[in-house]
Structure 1
Amino acid sequence: MSDTTHDGAIVTTALPSPDAGLKPAELAAKYGLSVSGARPGLFEYVGQLWGRRNFILAFSSAKVTAQYSQAKLGQLWQVATPLLNAFVYYLIFGLILGAGRGMSKEVYIPFLVTGVFVFAFTQTSVTAGVRAISGNLGLVRALHFPRASLPISFALQQLQQLLFSMIVLVLVAVGFGSYPSLSWLLVVPALALQFVFNAGLALIMARWGSSTPDLAQLMPFIMRTWMYGSGVMFSIKEMLADKPAWIAEVLMYNPAAVYMDLIRFALIDGYDRSNLPTHVWFAALAWAVLLGVVGFVYFWKAEERYGRG
């Protein structure tokens, strides 16, 4: 406001602001302001993620296409890589070490190939998840989108690769005497549960990897240990028959072994229920729900911190 003194001079006096004394947080709340990149509520976050579903699908498909674009055989390496691994494991563990004890050749070779393919699904989902944020910082810092889109899209990429590889897996099963039957339909729910488990684990690894990039260098050793303890190349039950029973029980209920055994049971005629732990479907569901929910919430908790380091 303005006032005039006795000598005619005009003096301007500022009125006190109605916002004087408000703290920054109170001032922001009054005018509906929020921190840029602030974490949304959990259900709002789920809605945002669903709204980006086309991006997730497109991003995962693009990654599949680009992965072997520089190789002459292209996408054939999606199948050739795990198949070559299975061949090497068969030479070492099957022929030299006799890891297929208790199984005929017609059962052991499909058993081994299935284990390699299915474990690779989890292995590559986890290793890709570690770098999902730290390896895409340009994208994370340039665009606003739910960051969970990245690890989930990497898990989806690995699922697409596995589905392509299933063609070879089916040919191997048929080639060794396991023909299509109704039990083959069990592959669908088993892979769906494994995908949820893998996505949850990839979300956890993505958060850890965003703050600890060196974790990516450690993961190959962790995954190799997990592979040897999951019965990829041998039957846990047969190999540990002379050890305390609880050791085999623990190893058979580890999630990698659970999902491998479910798919082996579905595809291989000679691999019956006696090779499965009790309540195996409940275990598969429990692992998927536990890791899926915990992994998603754990990743969401740090949403506002990704890309700011």
Structure 2
Amino acid sequence: MNAPPSPDDGLSPAELAARYGLTVSGARPSLPQYIRQLWARRHFIGAFSRAKLQAQYSRAKLGQLWQVATPLLNAGVYFVIFGVILDARGEVPGGDHNYVPFLVIGVFVFTFTQQSVLAGVRSISGNLGLVRALHFPRASLPVSFALQQLQQLLYSMIVLLVVLLAFGQYPSWPWLLIVPALVLQLLFNAGLALIMARLGSSTPDLAQLMPFVLRTWMYASGVMFPLHPMLTGNANLPAWAADLVAANPAAVYMDLMRFALIDDYTPGDIAPYPWLLALGWALLAGVAGFVYFWKAEERYGRG
């Protein structure tokens, strides 16, 4: 006995899926849908970043003190090499007594970006079990790692406050500028972490290469010496070239923090239009990084 004809007879698989509202498992959502999904997971992002921060030094005897001790020890090493041996202290606005605050601000601010990038590279490849077991917007991972580094920086700011007070830098209205500066740097770092997360998910060896790239970026950003005055004082370098080098994002965010926290800093000691540069870098990295990461959403964890 023949079965009665079905209204689905003759329909292609795509037409059948459209008729019954079926979608491909793991298909990439539209960009507006993806943004809504990510916002819905905001509590997970916050909890995940806090858990990672607490677990980072859980096996060390000094525990969370290493969050502050690590960048502070780095600053101590750079002080001996650049401040004492190479005598870069006199180039800092305000003279020798400002060099330690100058250096500590630079190390802490650059470490914020450096660690966000390194964590972003491993955010997908280092959490494949989570990616394959649960359905959630994968951008949650690199964003949460950027937030983790922000929390670590905020802990370090306690030590920075002590350093500033010890060297005669007292709270004033310009200190309020650190809030928008950190917000813009967080957006920049998150965008950079998203870009590196996609690249790192398909190229695991990138995690081995990035420390060398970041070390080069650090030396080119004026962490240990005032970049813009040094460049503008070079007779062999045109003024526009000096401004271009000083406009790199790591240098811009360090300049804004130093300008806010060190009294002797003036607009002439930093790159021109620093707030416009900071906003431009934040929007460029944040938007481009988010879209670039989203375009490969369905491929993460499939390899």
Range of TM-score over shorter length? over 0.9
What's the counterpart of residue 95 of structure 1?
84
Q: 2:267 aligns with which of 261, 273, 291?
A: 273
Work out the CA distance in 2 between the residues paired with 1:49 and 1:116.
31
Say which SS state the counterpart of residue 283 (structure 2) adopts: helix
Q: State the 1:16 CA deviation.
A: 4.2
Q: State the 1:274 CA deviation.
A: 1.3
Asked if the contact 1:79–1:165 (Cα under 8 Å) also holds between the matched residues in 2, the reply is yes
Identity of aligned residues (%): 71
What's the counterpart of residue 294 of structure 2?
300
Say which SS state the counterpart of residue 101 (structure 1) adopts: helix
Asked if the contact 1:125–1:199 (Cα under 8 Å) also holds between the matched residues in 2, the reply is yes
- In structure 1, the gaps of 5 or more residues are 1-11
Q: Does 1:63 align with 2:63?
A: no
Q: Give TM-score, length-normalised by structure 2.
A: 0.96
Q: State the 1:25 CA deviation.
A: 1.7
Q: 1:251 aligns with which of 233, 245, 259?
A: 245
Work out the CA distance in 2 between the residues paired with 1:182 and 1:283.
22
* Letter matched to residue 305 of structure 1: R
Alignment RMSD (CA, Å): 1.1
CA deviation map 1:113-135 (0-9, x unaligned): 10000000000000000000000
- In structure 2, the gaps of 5 or more residues are none
CA deviation map 1:10-32 (0-9, x unaligned): xx124444323322222211111
Say which SS state the counterpart of residue 91 (structure 2) adopts: coil
Say which SS state the counterpart of residue 270 (structure 1) adopts: coil
Q: State the 1:173 CA deviation.
A: 1.1
1:61-140 map, 5 Å: 61-103=50-92, 104-140=95-131
| Stretches of 4+ aligned residues off by more than 4 angstroms | none
Say which SS state the counterpart of residue 106 (structure 1) adopts: helix
Work out the CA distance in 2 between the residues paired with 1:126 and 1:57.
18
Q: Does 1:164 align with 2:158?
A: no
Say which SS state the counterpart of residue 89 (structure 2) adopts: coil
Work out the CA distance in 2 between the residues paired with 1:97 and 1:23.
74
What's the counterpart of residue 30 of structure 1?
19
Q: State the 1:101 CA deviation.
A: 3.5
Q: Give TM-score, length-normalised by structure 1.
A: 0.94
Q: 1:54 aligns with which of 21, 27, 43?
A: 43
**Number of residues paired by the alignment?**
298
Work out the CA distance in 2 between the residues paired with 1:254 and 1:100.
23
Say which SS state the counterpart of residue 278 (structure 1) adopts: coil
What's the counterpart of residue 177 of structure 2?
186
Asked if the contact 2:252–2:277 (Cα under 8 Å) also holds between the matched residues in 1, the reply is yes
Work out the CA distance in 1 between the residues paired with 2:221 and 2:52.
28
